[in-house]
């Protein structure tokens, strides 16, 4: 358990727990990825591409906050592994769009399922009402944060 000092205010404590939960989820995610032969950045790219169909390298670069040259190298490796494919844009043949291939979709689904199983195991000590409260509070925080952008 995290020791809470009397001088810590609630926001500070919440921030500590969020940061620590995020770290644990990321660590567990990397462990799960070890079984898939893809890297963390490749998985993040697959998630972005699966959720935002047909991104360009520039758009993916912005979403991942990485240089276009870094994304190009990443996509080259992912294409060789048959995770993604480059396709010419229908309206503008100069534009190249990225699509996730079935192997990439399968990996995303496998990893997310294993993450959900892990989380379900960790939440098993909460009753349904407590899970609902946690879900509502996380949803509220998420919406408050996404309203800013």
Surface-to-core class of residue 139, CB atoms within 10 Å of its CB (0-12 exposed, 13-18 middle, 19+ buried): exposed
User: What's the rounded mean pLDDT across residues 13-38?
Assistant: 91
Query: pLDDT per residue over 53-112, tens digit each?
Result: 889 999 999 999 999 999 999 999 999 999 999 999 888 888 999 999 999 999 999 999
Separation in Å, CA 112 to CA 24, 69, 88, 117, 126: 15, 28, 29, 9, 21
Q: Which residues share a beta bridge with 96?
A: 88
How far from chain centre, in Å, is Cα 4?
30
The percent of residues above 70 in pLDDT, for the chain, comes to 93
Q: Ramachandran region of residue 70, left (φ > 0), alpha (ψ -120 to 50) or beta?
A: alpha
* Rounded Cα–Cα distance for residues 144 and 149 (Å): 10
Give this prediction's pTM. 0.79
Domain 10-146 falls under CATH 3.40.50.970: no
For residues 108 and 49, what is the distance between their CA atoms, to the nearest angstrom?
A: 11
93: which 2 tokens?
A: 């043949």
DSSP string covering 41-85: HHHHHHHHHHHSSSEEHHHHHHHHT--HHHHHHHHHHHHHTTSEE
Domain ranges of the chain: 10-146
């Amino acid at each position: 358990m995290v020791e809470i000092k009397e001088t810590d205010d609630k926001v500070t404590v919440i921030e500590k727990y969020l940061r620590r939960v995020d770290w644990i989820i990321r660590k567990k995610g990397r462990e799960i990825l070890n079984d898939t032969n893809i890297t963390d950045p490749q998985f993040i790219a697959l998630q972005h591409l699966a959720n935002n169909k047909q991104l360009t390298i520039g758009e993916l670069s912005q979403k991942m906050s990485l240089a276009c040259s870094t994304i190009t190298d990443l996509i080259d490796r992912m294409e060789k592994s048959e995770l993604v494919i480059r396709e010419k844009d229908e309206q503008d043949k100069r534009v190249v769009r990225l699509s996730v291939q079935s192997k990439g979709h399968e990996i995303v689904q496998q990893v997310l399922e294993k993450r959900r199983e892990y989380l379900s195991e960790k939440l098993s000590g909460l009753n349904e009402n407590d899970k609902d409260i946690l879900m509502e509070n996380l949803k509220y925080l998420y919406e408050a944060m996404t309203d800013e952008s």
